[in-house]
C-alpha cells in the first residue's frame, strides 16, 4: 500500500471537486481500487503504486486544463478521465497554440477538440467544399462557424453566409407569431448561438447590420453568386435534391462552403428524399471536395448524449436485423408455397 498527496494550489478546489463533490465522485469511479480523499486543497491517494501513478497523470491533466480555462464541466472532466490515448488527451490539453481557431469574447478559445473535428479543419484548409456528416452534438456546425469566423478575421473572405432549410419539424411555420423574419429566426438560432461564442456582441451587431455576416433561409440563396465568401449550409439532410444542387452551384470564385448534416434527423415529408445522400455519393471523389464523417466519439455535449446516440444506433441495428430476418422468413414461406 502506497500513499501520495497532490496539491491543488494552482486551481480552485471547489471548481475541481464540483458541486456536491460530483467531479470527485467521477474520479473515484474511474479508480475504484484506490482510496481517494479530499482535504482542503489536497487530494490523498492510497493504493497500489501503478494505480496511483495513473491517477496522478490524469489529475495532472485535469489541473492543466483548469489552469488554462479556469473552469471545467463534469462532461469534460469525465472525458479527460476516460481518454486513455494520446489523441484523446490532445483534444483537451492544448499543446499547440496554433490549434486555436478563434479567440472569442473574454479570452475564450475555440478549437477543434476531437480527431474528426481536426480532420474537418484540415479538409477545409485543403478543399473549397467540405461535407461534414454526423449525429447531434459532434460539433459539425460549431466547428464550421469557427472556420468561417477565422477566415473572416484573417481577411481570407469578405463575408460569411450561414443558411439552413426552414423545414418544419412537427411544427407549422404559419402558426408561429410575428413576421417572416420572426418566424424563420428560431430555425437559425443554433447559428446565432455559435456566433455569440466567437464574436463580441457589439462587433457581431455591426457585422450583421452591414451584411458582412448574413444568416438566411436556404430559399434566399436562389439566383445568387456568392463570391469572396465563406458559406455554410447547416441541416443539409433537410434539403431535397434540387435545393442542395442549387446551393452548391451558388459558389463563386474565392469562396469556401461547408455542408453539415445528420442523416438520422430528417424532417422532410415522407414522400421526399433527402438530397444530402445523393450529393455525398455523386460528389465524394471530385478533386477539391472533401467528405468527413463524425460519430458518437466526437460528441462533446453532456456525457449522456454519447450514450443516447449509442443506444439509438444499437436499437436501429436490432430493428434492421429483425426486419431482414422477417423478410427471409417470408421468402422461405413463399418458396415453400410454390413447391420449390
Is residue 118 domain-shared with residue 224, that is, in the same domain?
Answer: yes
pLDDT of amino acid 168: 47
Which range of 93-97, 229-233, 317-321 scores highest in mean pLDDT? It is: 229-233
Q: What are the grid coordinates assigned to 118, written together?
A: 481536426
Read off the pLDDT band of 113 (50, 70, 90): confident
Q: What is the CA radius of gyration of the chain?
A: 24
For residue 148, which of 127, 132, 162, 165 has the smallest C-alpha distance?
A: 162
191/262 same-domain check = yes
Q: Output the pLDDT for position 247.
A: 92
- Shared domain check, 143 and 287: yes
- The HSE-up count of residue 154 (CA atoms within 13 Å, CB side) is 11
Answer yes or no: are the C-beta atoms of 9 and 16 closer than 8 Å.
no
Residue 181: the pLDDT is 56
Kindly state the average pLDDT of the residues 78-107.
Answer: 65
Return the SS3 of 133. strand
Helices 180-198 and 140-153, axial angle in degrees (round to 10): 70
Q: Are residues 295 and 203 in the same domain?
A: yes
Segments forming the whole domain that contains residue 182: 97-301
The pLDDT, as a whole number, for residue 218 is 86
Integer Cα distance of 218 and 159 in angstroms = 17
CA atoms within 13 Å, Cβ hemisphere of 225: 4
Cell of 250: 451558388
Residues 266 and 309 grouped into a single domain: no
Residue 337 grid coordinates: 408455397
List CB contacts of 21: < 8 A, sequence separation 6 or more: 38
Q: Residue 165, Cβ neighbours under 10 Å: how many? A: 22
**Which position has the higher pLDDT, 179 or 239?**
239
- Please give the residue that has the higher pLDDT: either 28 or 76: 28
* pLDDT tens readout for residues 132-152: 999 888 889 999 999 999 999
What gap in Å lies between CA 60 and CA 281, rounded to an integer? 45
The CATH number assigned to the domain holding 271 equals: 3.40.50.300
Give the model's confidence band at 317: pLDDT under 50 very low, under 70 low, under 90 confident, else very high.
confident
pLDDT at position 275 is 92
Q: Bridge-partner residues for 160, per DSSP? A: 213, 230
- Kindly tell me if the per-residue pLDDT of 336 is higher than 60: yes
The predicted model gives 72-76 an average pLDDT of 76
Q: Tell whether 153 and 265 lie within a shared domain.
A: yes
Q: Which of 71, 92, 113 is the last residue of a domain?
A: 92
Are 66 and 115 in a shared domain?
A: no
**What pTM does this model have?**
0.64
In this structure, the answer to whether residues 128 and 242 fall within a common structural domain is yes
Regarding whether 147 and 77 lie in a shared domain, the answer is no
Computed over every residue of the chain, the mean pLDDT equals 82
With a pLDDT cut of 90, the percent of the chain lying above it is: 29
Which residues lie closer than 8 Å to 283 by C-beta, 6 or more apart? 129, 131, 248, 289
Task: Report the DSSP pairing between strands 42-47 and 2-7.
Answer: antiparallel
Task: Give me the sign of the Cα torsion angle 44, 47, 53, 54.
Answer: negative
Q: How far, in Å, CA of 253 to CA of 251, rounded?
A: 7
The Cα 4–Cα 45 span in angstroms is 5
Q: Answer yes or no: do 82 and 135 share one domain.
A: no
* 199 burial type by CB count under 10 A (0-12 exposed, 13-18 middle, 19+ buried): buried
Same domain, 55 and 142: no
> 48-57, 86-95, 195-204, 221-230: which has the minimum mean pLDDT?
86-95
In this structure, the answer to whether residues 245 and 323 fall within a common structural domain is: no
Q: What is the mean pLDDT of residues 287-315?
A: 80
Among 63-67, 163-167, 171-175, where is mean pLDDT lowest?
A: 171-175
pLDDT in tens, 180-228: 556 566 767 788 888 988 998 899 999 999 999 998 888 888 888 889 9
Average pLDDT over residues 52-74: 81
Element (H, E) at 309: helix 303-337
Domain count, the chain: 3
Amino acid at each position: 500500500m502506497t500513499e501520495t498527496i497532490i496539491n491543488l494550489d494552482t486551481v480552485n478546489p471547489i471548481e475541481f471537486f464540483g458541486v456536491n463533490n460530483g467531479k470527485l465522485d467521477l474520479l473515484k469511479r474511474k479508480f475504484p481500487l484506490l482510496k481517494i480523499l479530499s482535504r482542503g486543497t489536497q487530494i490523498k491517494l492510497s493504493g497500489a503504486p501503478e494505480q496511483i501513478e495513473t491517477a496522478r497523470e490524469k489529475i495532472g491533466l485535469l489541473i492543466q486544463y483548469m489552469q488554462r480555462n479556469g473552469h471545467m464541466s463534469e462532461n469534460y472532466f469525465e472525458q479527460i478521465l476516460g481518454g486513455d490515448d494520446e489523441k484523446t488527451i490532445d483534444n483537451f490539453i492544448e499543446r499547440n497554440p496554433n490549434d486555436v481557431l478563434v479567440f472569442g469574447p473574454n479570452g475564450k478559445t475555440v478549437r477543434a477538440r476531437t480527431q474528426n473535428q481536426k480532420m474537418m479543419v484540415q479538409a477545409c484548409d485543403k478543399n473549397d467544399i467540405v461535407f461534414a456528416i454526423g449525429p447531434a452534438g459532434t460539433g459539425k456546425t460549431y466547428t464550421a462557424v469557427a472556420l468561417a469566423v477565422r477566415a473572416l478575421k484573417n481577411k481570407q473572405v469578405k463575408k460569411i453566409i450561414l443558411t439552413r432549410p426552414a423545414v418544419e419539424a412537427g411544427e407549422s411555420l404559419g402558426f408561429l407569431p410575428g413576421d417572416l423574419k420572426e418566424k424563420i429566426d428560431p430555425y437559425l438560432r443554433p447559428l446565432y448561438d455559435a456566433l455569440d461564442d466567437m464574436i463580441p456582441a457589439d462587433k457581431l451587431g455591426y457585422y450583421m447590420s452591414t451584411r458582412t455576416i448574413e444568416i438566411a433561409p436556404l430559399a434566399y440563396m436562389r439566383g445568387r453568386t456568392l463570391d469572396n465568401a465563406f458559406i455554410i449550409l447547416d441541416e443539409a439532410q433537410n434539403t431535397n435534391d434540387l435545393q442542395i444542387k442549387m446551393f452548391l452551384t451558388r459558389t463563386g470564385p474565392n469562396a469556401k462552403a461547408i455542408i453539415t448534416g445528420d442523416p438520422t434527423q430528417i424532417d422532410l415529408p415522407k414522400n421526399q428524399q433527402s438530397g444530402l445522400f445523393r450529393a455525398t455519393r455523386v460528389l465524394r471523389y471530385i478533386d477539391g471536395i472533401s467528405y468527413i464523417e463524425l460519430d458518437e466519439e466526437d460528441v462533446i455535449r453532456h456525457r449522456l448524449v454519447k450514450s443516447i446516440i449509442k443506444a439509438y444506433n444499437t436499437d436501429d441495428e436490432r430493428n434492421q436485423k429483425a426486419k431482414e430476418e422477417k423478410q427471409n422468413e417470408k421468402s422461405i414461406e413463399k418458396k415453400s408455397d410454390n413447391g420449390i
